[in-house]
Amino acid sequence: MKQNKITPIIGLQWGDEGKGKGVARIASRLKSSDLIVRFQGGNNAGHTIWHKGKSYVFKLIPSGVFGRAQIHLGAGMVINPGALRDEIKTIPKDVSFLNRLSVSPHAVLTMPTHILLDSVSEKNKGKKKIGSTGRGISPSYTDLTLRRALRVGDIFQNDFKKRYVKLANEHKETLQKVFNYKTSSKDIKENEKGFWKGIKLLRSLSIINSASLIEKALGSEYIVIAEGAQGTLLDVRFGNYPYVTSSHTIAGGVATGLGIPPEYVGGAIGIFKAYATKIGEGPFPTELGGKKSAIWCRDKKYAYEKKRFLNPDPNSKDEFEQGIALRRLGFEIGAVTGRLRRTGWLDIPLLKYAININNARELVLTKLDVLNNFKKIKVCTSYIIAGKKTIEIPFDLFRVKIKCVYKSFPVWKRNLSDYGNTLPKEALVYIKFLEKTLGAKIIYVGTGPEEHHVVERYW
């Protein structure tokens, strides 16, 4: 049995909890022999980090790129080679990382026709769409389970191009037969150019089995961090199906996503915001403004919202306006797609569910500063379903009519930044309530977007 274990860093909500910042902070303390790996997802992820006063959004590359540790794109990922190449170009020249970067041969390649399949099938669903990021993630994983996917290891085979053309043709046939969509060369031309340039780049990178890399690191007692993408409620099986992504986002996904025994995986650190957001369609019991907000966020652009609501009031009696104020204050705009993130209050039943599924006994609470300008905040402590109070999450959350029971908390009077490394008493009341109710410790509290905007507890 190895002494060190992998630490999964997992989102406990619907993604965008601040995982990137959390991982970057840990990474800044790691040594060159330590390891940060992604184990699932693809460039549907958008992990924002601040480095030397500039913000970066990482989609495929682990958020530890500015540290010294080794970084690895694991077996459970889907990788768009063109997107990887573009992302690599955004990293400043003085950061040497290509010698620290490796990729699993088992990771699935996202092809231009996967991206087309994603967007055409979403359009076809009309009002029933999932709200996918349109990055071809679901069709890429579909090909894995259909046992016909191209994987990173295949790029060294002589027949790779032939297999690519065959599979792309099968995709075009599906587009034609199932969706009555005739693929034109214009649809995929640019992405194909990027794909082949990306393949060239991939051939120059270090391709290593995730499992051997991890075994070696754990065996030498180095630190291994597994950076989750998306969030627990987007897990393909245990999230709010069907409004989910197509991979296992939970801590259980670390073992299967990397090909390692489950006993190598240690306790997860769970990350959640001081409120809730969701991007795309699907159930969101605590959404401020309810259905009106969901439709607004589906149909409107940020520029329009800004013009229409110059100064939304976080203390408005109109919950829809409060939700807009929360979005503005937290800058809740999709890092990948620029869509409006739906906003709402913290949801204890869902958080408990997520904590249990990941066994996350250490938590990071982010974006507490975003609540500075509220007078009062709310937390949903239970649901009323068919007249009964419960904290059980129904199997088909999106079909069930839920009434939320709320508890209110007063908000601190000054900005959190005025309190330095401490927290005002009102914030501590809120945090201690969460710790007691959730049965877990909140080890970090995020008080701003940059790496140093953190109050450490229990140290």
Catalytic residues: 16, 47
Alpha helices in 222-272 (DSSP H): 252-258
DSSP letter assigned to residue 340: B
In the three-class reduction of DSSP (H, G, I as helix; E, B as strand; rest coil), residue 26 is classed as helix
d(C-alpha 258, C-alpha 214), whole Å: 8
Residue with nearest beta carbon to ligand IMO:
280
- 277, β-bridge pairs: 343
CB of 19 to ligand IMO, least distance (A): 6
Candidates 9-17, 155-163, 299-307, 407-415: pick the segment binding ligand IMO (CB under 6 A). Answer: 9-17
Assess 335 for contact with ligand GDP (CB under 6 A): yes
Assess 76 for contact with Mg ion (CB under 5 A): no
The residue behind tokens 């500015």 is 66
Pick what 137 binds: ligand IMO, ligand GDP, Mg ion, none; C-beta below 5 to 8 Å, kind-dependent: ligand IMO
d(C-alpha 40, C-alpha 35), whole Å: 16
Question: Among 6, 9, 10, 11, which residue sits at the site for ligand IMO (rule: CB under 6 A)?
Answer: 11
Which secondary structure element, helix H or strand E, spans residue 71, and what is its range? Answer: strand 70-73
Q: Which amino acid is at 369?
A: D
Q: Which lies closer to Mg ion via its Cβ, residue 23 or residue 188?
A: 23
Assess 46 for contact with ligand IMO (CB under 6 A): yes
Q: Are 292 and 320 in contact (CB under 8 A)?
A: yes
Q: Which lies closer to ligand GDP via its Cβ, residue 113 or residue 232?
A: 232
Structure tokens at 154: 């295949």
Candidates 84-92, 184-192, 320-328, 367-375: pick the segment binding ligand GDP (CB under 6 A). Answer: 367-375
Residue 213, judged by CB atoms within 10 A of its CB (0-12, 13-18, 19+), counts as buried
DSSP letter assigned to residue 99: G
Interface pattern 121-140 for ligand IMO (x via CB under 6 A): ---------xxxx-x-xx--
Which secondary structure element, helix H or strand E, spans residue 125, and what is its range? Answer: helix 112-125
d(C-alpha 334, C-alpha 242), whole Å: 20
Question: Among 16, 34, 143, 369, which residue sits at the site for Mg ion (rule: CB under 5 A)?
Answer: 16
d(C-alpha 332, C-alpha 299), whole Å: 16
Q: Which lies closer to ligand GDP via its Cβ, residue 58 or residue 222?
A: 58
Assess 378 for contact with ligand GDP (CB under 6 A): no
Residue with nearest beta carbon to ligand GDP:
446
Question: Among 8, 11, 46, 231, which residue sits at the site for Mg ion (rule: CB under 5 A)?
Answer: 46
Candidates 22-30, 228-236, 303-311, 315-323: pick the segment binding ligand IMO (CB under 6 A). Answer: 228-236
CB of 132 to ligand GDP, least distance (A): 16
How many chain residues touch ligand IMO (CB under 6 A)?
23
Q: Are 198 and 82 in contact (CB under 8 A)?
A: yes
What lies within 8 Å, CB to CB, of 179 at 6+ separation is 120, 121, 124
Assess 411 for contact with ligand GDP (CB under 6 A): no
Whether omega before 262 lies within 30 degrees of 0, making that bond cis, reads no
> 10 Å Cβ neighbour count for 96?
9
Assess 18 for contact with ligand GDP (CB under 6 A): yes
Helix axes 348-358, 425-438, angle to 10 degrees: 60
Q: Which lies closer to ligand IMO via its Cβ, residue 125 or residue 200?
A: 125
Assess 63 for contact with ligand IMO (CB under 6 A): no
Output the CA–CA distances (angstroms, integers) from residue 165 to 42, 121, 188, in the order listed: 22, 21, 13
CB of 45 to ligand IMO, least distance (A): 3
Site for ligand IMO in 132-191 (CB under 6 A): 132-133, 135, 137-138
Pick what 133 binds: Mg ion, ligand IMO, ligand GDP, none; C-beta below 5 to 8 Å, kind-dependent: ligand IMO
The whole-angstrom distance between residue 392's C-alpha and the CA centroid of its chain comes to 24
Backbone angles phi, psi at 125, to 5 degrees: -75, -15
Pick what 132 binds: ligand GDP, ligand IMO, Mg ion, none; C-beta below 5 to 8 Å, kind-dependent: ligand IMO
Site for ligand GDP in 19-58 (CB under 6 A): 19-21, 46-48
Assess 64 for contact with ligand IMO (CB under 6 A): no
User: In the complex, which residues of this chain contact Mg ion (CB under 5 A)?
Assistant: 16, 46, 335
User: In the complex, which residues of this chain contact ligand GDP (CB under 6 A)?
Assistant: 11, 15-21, 46-48, 335, 366-367, 369-370, 446-449, 453
User: In the complex, which residues of this chain contact ligand IMO (CB under 6 A)?
Assistant: 11, 14-16, 44-47, 130-133, 135, 137-138, 229-231, 234, 245-246, 279-280
